[in-house]
Amino acid sequence: MDRGLGDHEFDSVTLLAAKPFLGELRHYLGESVNERIDAALNNDLTSLSAAEIMQRLQLAGAVGHSSAGGAA
């Protein structure tokens, strides 16, 4: 992710994970990537459909932040 950030492939990151994995993710991301986290949602979404996940992301305001047009 550090390389992608350096290559301007994204400008923000949204993390979706259940505790304690959310903390583990943050631990392994570089400092520069951690500074780009715009939302960190403590949710286990594994039982939801793709449509339900998208709806939750929209409600959280975590959709459409990437300048590269892709998901990070």
Structural domain range at position 12: 2-59
Whether residue 68 lies inside any domain: the answer is: no
pTM for this model (two decimals): 0.64
Whether residue 69 lies inside any domain: the answer is: no
The residues facing 17 across adjacent strands are: 42
What is the domain count for the chain? 1
- Encoded tokens for 35: 């500074």
Q: Residues 29-42: pLDDT tens digits?
A: 999 999 999 888 88
58: exposed, middle or buried (Cβ count in 10 Å: 0-12, 13-18, 19+): exposed
- Encoded tokens for 58: 């929209």
Q: Residues 3-62: pLDDT tens digits?
A: 999 999 999 888 888 888 888 999 999 999 999 998 888 888 889 999 998 888 888 777
